Chain A
Amino acid sequence: AQKVTQAQTEISVVEKEDVTLDCVYETRDTTYYLFWYKQPPSGELVFLIRRNSFDEQNEISGRYSWNFQKSTSSFNFTITASQVVDSAVYFCALIKYSSYKLIFGSGTRLLVRP
């Protein structure tokens, strides 16, 4: 069975603080993809990143960075120097190779206060 756990239900930080959102996954498959999506108050999910199971290189995109560690089955997301516009619900998701179905975590609500 596949599962994604986002243990942090809600995080509140002050603007300019760094914040890390945790994602732990379970799968028996050797080939799979991991995703992060952002859900702003408007409701739609915005794609942030996709990472396949064979690529453990960390990735940085502006203030965003992702740390993928297969040894701990984690795919954590860090926002550096957070901004109020980063306030949203963030979802981690998993899909195994040849599947059609994304398995989502329960999401982490991030509130960035001015």
Chain B
Amino acid sequence: DGGITQSPKYLFRKEGQNVTLSCEQNLNHDAMYWYRQDPGQGLRLIYYSQIVNDFQKGDIAEGYSVSREKKESFPLTVTSAQKNPTAFYLCASSIDLLQGGGTEAFFGQGTRLTVV
């Protein structure tokens, strides 16, 4: 089945540690995104990538880093510089960049990160 796979589903991190969230898609989509969701809030864009080896900052990129070495994969690293990393992280992809809104984004099941 085609889709987006995020792993792990739950992740615990000690303060001061970097941690990497995995996102893989087999939909052959060019564009991929990372969103952060906090309780009672909508999703906020962290990073997005239109094609391999290219990515751009979203609204809340500070303390995060990404890579896009393969079309299928878009891992997100939460660094120790992120002040408040405890949140639910969602990865998404779309056929191409959501220009014009002509396509919809497909989302993974998310990773819940907790800093302990």
Contact = CB atoms under 8 A, between A and B. Distances in A.
Contacts of B109: 42-44
B107 A101 contact: no
A104 interface: yes
Contact of A44 (B98, B99, B107, B112): B107
Interface size class of A (residues with CB under 8 A): 20 to 34
A33 B43 contact: no
A60 to B, nearest CB: 19
Nearest to B105: A102
B41 A97 contact: no
A104 B98 contact: no
Interface string B28-58: 0001000000001111110010100000001
A111 interface: no
Interface string A26-40: 000001110101000
A32 B99 CA distance: 10
Interface size class of B (residues with CB under 8 A): 20 to 34
Contacts of A45: 43, 90, 92, 105, 107
A95 B101 contact: yes
A95 B4 CA distance: 22
Nearest to B100: A97
B42 A105 contact: yes
Given A104-B43, A105-B42, A95 B106 contact: no
Contacts of B104: 35, 47, 50
Closest 3 CB pairs of A and B: A33-B101, A104-B42, A43-B110
